[in-house]
Structure 1
Amino acid sequence: MNTFYHSTRSAADSVTSKQAILAGIAPDGGLYVSDALGETRLALEDVCAQDFHATARLVLGTLLPDYTADELASCVDAAYGAQWDSEAVCPLTPLGTDWLLELYHGPTCAFKDVALQMLPQLMSVARAGDGRKIMVVTATSGDTGKAALDGFAGVEGTGVTVFYPYGKVSDIQRLQMVTQLGGNVAVCAVRGTFDDCQGEVKRIFADRELASRLAERGVVLSSANSINVGRLAPQVTYYFDSYAQLVRRGVVRMGEEVTFCVPTGNFGDVLAGYYAKRMGLPVRRLVVASNANDVLTDFLTTGTYDRRRDFHKTISPSMDILVSSNLERLLYFASKGDCELVTSLMADLAEKGFYTVPERVMDEIRSTFACGRADDADTRETIFDTWRELDVLIDPHTAVAKHVLDALPADGTERVCLSTASPYKFCADVLAALGEVTDGMNGFACMDALEAKTRTAAPAQLSGLRADAVLHDDVCDRERMGGFVESACARVFL
């Protein structure tokens, strides 16, 4: 089996999975992919007879084959240990006639923990004996930031720098980041949108002069965003594991297809489902659920990806994204590895702000992917109805997915709605959706009121933030992000 990775934009230079994880992004700006995806299909009999940890070892061993079994076992044990408040890691629970995949039981109460508790472990193994220091640089629309900070804080030989859009994350999300402890962490708000942050991070990675200056200090940059294959691969696990839970419950017979509905902005979460399908998971449809920033819905409907549109600040801020980076990987696979096409499309996006995909490629994409959207009014109504009718409290991102799923005609499959965050990360908006007035209330007052109204409990890792001091209050313009990274490297790696 071909164990190598190469850029979506060129197959000329190959690297191992360890090298791809350390680099984060390919030198030409493309994302690392392996043409071996789908060559090895996981045995469903094995998956359905084992727990999350065993499936994680199996998935990662298939996608990252230059890691040894012992290395992966150590990584899995460290990533999915006592920091999770569910023995199942990602439990599946009823949601009316559908199912809710709860991905928020990790230390930062968001699905990003599944990958970002694992990525530092994978990086540490990959850099063993390397001698270089790594500065992980990431942009976040809300959840990735804290998950990256938590995962990399205190990791020897590694620093982490997080940028988030100023005023465009929830109070609780912001506090999670700006109170982060650790001598190797740096956090900065950026005046602009997530796309501004993400675009500038990509430019920083392509800055050869900066790379040269950092190399003189023995420092290299890497990424914790889902552009890093080490961030994407662990997410494949919960698709297989949720299927196993359905089989063990007796609601799905082994081999029957399942539909997944995924709230997504950067396309990484749903792309992991596509990887799972290529690896043998019986998937009928992957439903892409968008909020008012519905660039993905328009793309899947029309075949044209167009970021030239108004940006909407919504109550599902982690999806407030107009440039979905991981879509590039899907374009590569759906075009049967046409690097020239992918390069052309990405150039059009950068230069013109849009691209149109050939119909043959769109036919391939639409054979697996469906789509839908929900604006803020739809989202609030879904939060209210889900609590009133099902006694299930969901966050705004999950509500986007549930609204889209409810609008789809039944297709005879069991349907799984991915729940990407605790509702208490967005307590003000959830409380307002339940009909309460939140004017003048800070995040913790809303948290307390939400607990009282629903008789549920906020996770301790969120309620405990009220006692934490703000340690990171930097704010910069997009043009100063590179300088912030360089100064963070100087401070962390003295």
Structure 2
Amino acid sequence: MTTFYHSTRSDSETVTSKQAILAGIAPDGGLYVSDDAVRNKLDLRAVCQEGYHQIARRVLGTLLPDFTEQEVASCVEAAYADNFDTPAVTPLSPLGTDWLLELYHGPTCAFKDVALQMLPRLMSVARKGEGRNVMIVTATSGDTGKAALAGFAGVPGTGVTVFYPDGKVSDVQHLQMVTQTGDNVAVCGIKGTFDDAQTQVKRIFADRDLAGRLAAQNVMLSSANSINVGRLVPQVTYYFSAYAQLVRTGAIVIGDEVDFCVPTGNFGDVLAGYYAKLLGLPVGKLVVASNSNKVLTDFLTTGTYDRRRDFVKTISPSMDILVSSNLERMLYYLTDGDCEAVATYMADLAQKGCYTISKDLLAKLRQTFDCGFATDDETRQTIRDTWEKDHVLIDTHTAVARHVLGRFAPEGRRRVCLSTASPYKFSADVLAALGTDVSGLDGFACMDRLQALTGVAAPAQLSGLRDAPVLHADVCDMDGMTAFVEGSCNRIFA
């Protein structure tokens, strides 16, 4: 059986999941969704007896059904066999009376690795017989960029171009990107915010003249952001894995509901939890945790999404986002597949900067989602409290989630807090939160002091950056991004 995908804004044209992964984004600017794939339910009892690789094969086989079992199995083995420092891939550990889902055991120490070690494999399978070279173009608020670079570096027939907001990522995040090796990679800072970069990347995908020029060179564009369904689907696995680990520890029995609190900016990570719920995972609440750029908190509280506000630079930079692209997929499912309504919301957002859903839709949304936000001061205090009371070192994004989760009284369900990055990606802010004066210290001095203070070892892939040469020094205005992409294609695929 072939399960088709179509745009959130129109169901008139359908594609297979392989075609959706290669395209990244629909021609009309919408995101690819499937009506049939999410109606299937996984065998929860079987899932709870399986390890990460087996669960991943179940999830991918369900949501990407035009990949054969053998193709899925080979992708899973290549993505997770040797690239994570634990066989569990995303282990679960106690955090006070709650649980911490550790998503930072991959090569770049961030949750994006779970998907971006998988996406290049899926894309390589999908492009067999296609014949065209693929240029991955992505905007990053900090973590996606390095994970995409690490995932696609050296992959035959592909290139990867990453744009990041210059001066608005952590020192370690910046170095992870600008020291990336590989003949098929390109990195450029932009003078603006992540939202600026993301908006321009979407325009690049919609640029038919550019597409025509690249097609003449046998090149097509695709995305590594979570707007790409091949990036989103692998993230569903760790929700099922967390549940299975809870069952095996005896914390729950099969059928018990579990709450998940997710630090999120672009809504992709928490949307993966909603997909898990659609596939039969007993999810109680999905708590959306935001920093001071609390556009999602306000939306989930009032029903109005309004990006017309000041951008706040925070100590949790991967969440410094005002346009949460993956919310568009949630709107599609919320409206029971009303493409016209979704297209109207997105047009209003583009033209007016805001849109409002009905009270009935908001009530329906709140049946599954709750929300809250943390200021930088609250984030710092949570880092300190978590270390002093629980002896667990967490990063600035995980701390946002833990603070928000702490605002809610447990409702008789086990609660899992998603930990999205190693604290050593944000050494200066974590060290400062623990009471150390970091003025005059660079990122590596902070890393060394944090390690000495806590006894928690810094990951080698981060501490080793201090000796890596800077290979990418480009910075451009938004207007220069299209030319940078085209130039990268000419260089990589010449």
TM-score, normalised via structure 2 length: 1.00
Contact 2:2 2:16 in 1 (8 A): no
> Partner residue of 2:412?
412
Q: Report how far residue 240 of structure 1 moved.
A: 0.2
Q: Report how far residue 2 of structure 1 moved.
A: 6.1
Question: Residues 361-382 of structure 1: CA distance to partner in whole angstroms, max 9, x if unpaired?
Answer: 2222111000000010000000
Contact 2:143 2:173 in 1 (8 A): yes
Question: Residues 191-245 of structure 1: CA distance to partner in whole angstroms, max 9, x if unpaired?
Answer: 0000000000000000000000000000000000000000000000000000000
1:51-450 mapped onto 2 (5 Å cutoff): 51-450=51-450
The question of 1:451 aligning with 2:422 is answered: no
Runs (4+) of structure 1 moved beyond 2 Å?
A: none
Contact 2:307 2:354 in 1 (8 A): yes
Give 5+ residue unaligned stretches, structure 2: none
| CA distance in 2: counterparts of 1:280 and 1:334, whole angstroms | 17
Question: Residues 171-198 of structure 1: CA distance to partner in whole angstroms, max 9, x if unpaired?
Answer: 0000000000000000000000000000
Question: Residues 282-319 of structure 1: CA distance to partner in whole angstroms, max 9, x if unpaired?
Answer: 00000000000000000000000000001000000000
Q: What value does the CA root-mean-square deviation take over the aligned residues? A: 0.6
> Partner residue of 2:478?
478
One-letter amino acid matched to 1:318: S
Q: Report how far residue 36 of structure 1 moved.
A: 1.1
SS in 2 for 1:145: helix
| CA distance in 2: counterparts of 1:87 and 1:55, whole angstroms | 13
One-letter amino acid matched to 1:69: E
Contact 1:2 1:35 in 2 (8 A): no
One-letter amino acid matched to 2:138: T
TM-score, normalised via structure 1 length: 1.00
Contact 2:38 2:63 in 1 (8 A): no
Aligned residue pair count: 494
Contact 2:2 2:65 in 1 (8 A): no
Segment of structure 1 superposing worse, 263-272 or 82-91: 82-91
Contact 2:266 2:323 in 1 (8 A): yes
| CA distance in 2: counterparts of 1:36 and 1:256, whole angstroms | 26
Segment of structure 1 superposing worse, 362-371 or 419-428: 362-371
Q: Report how far residue 332 of structure 1 moved.
A: 0.2
Contact 1:33 1:329 in 2 (8 A): yes
| CA distance in 1: counterparts of 2:455 and 2:59, whole angstroms | 38
Q: Report how far residue 83 of structure 1 moved.
A: 1.6
SS in 1 for 2:281: coil
| CA distance in 2: counterparts of 1:210 and 1:13, whole angstroms | 22
Question: Residues 319-354 of structure 1: CA distance to partner in whole angstroms, max 9, x if unpaired?
Answer: 000000000000000100000000000000000000
Contact 1:53 1:76 in 2 (8 A): yes
Question: Residues 447-481 of structure 1: CA distance to partner in whole angstroms, max 9, x if unpaired?
Answer: 00000000111000000111110000000001100
Give 5+ residue unaligned stretches, structure 1: none
Q: Report how far residue 87 of structure 1 moved.
A: 1.1
Contact 2:59 2:234 in 1 (8 A): yes
Contact 1:2 1:36 in 2 (8 A): no
Question: Residues 239-275 of structure 1: CA distance to partner in whole angstroms, max 9, x if unpaired?
Answer: 0000000000001010000000000000000000000
Contact 2:6 2:32 in 1 (8 A): yes
SS in 1 for 2:88: coil
Segment of structure 1 superposing worse, 200-209 or 80-89: 80-89
One-letter amino acid matched to 2:381: E
SS in 2 for 1:38: helix
Contact 1:38 1:280 in 2 (8 A): no
| CA distance in 2: counterparts of 1:342 and 1:57, whole angstroms | 31
Q: Report how far residue 38 of structure 1 moved.
A: 3.3
| CA distance in 1: counterparts of 2:286 and 2:363, whole angstroms | 15
| CA distance in 1: counterparts of 2:79 and 2:87, whole angstroms | 13
Q: Report how far residue 441 of structure 1 moved.
A: 0.6
Contact 2:136 2:160 in 1 (8 A): yes
Percentage of pairs with the same residue:
71
Q: Report how far residue 360 of structure 1 moved.
A: 2.3
SS in 2 for 1:305: strand
One-letter amino acid matched to 1:402: R
Contact 1:138 1:201 in 2 (8 A): yes
Contact 1:57 1:76 in 2 (8 A): yes
| CA distance in 2: counterparts of 1:429 and 1:177, whole angstroms | 20
| CA distance in 2: counterparts of 1:334 and 1:236, whole angstroms | 18
| CA distance in 2: counterparts of 1:487 and 1:173, whole angstroms | 24
| CA distance in 2: counterparts of 1:483 and 1:420, whole angstroms | 33
1:18-29 mapped onto 2 (5 Å cutoff): 18-29=18-29
Q: Report how far residue 359 of structure 1 moved.
A: 2.1
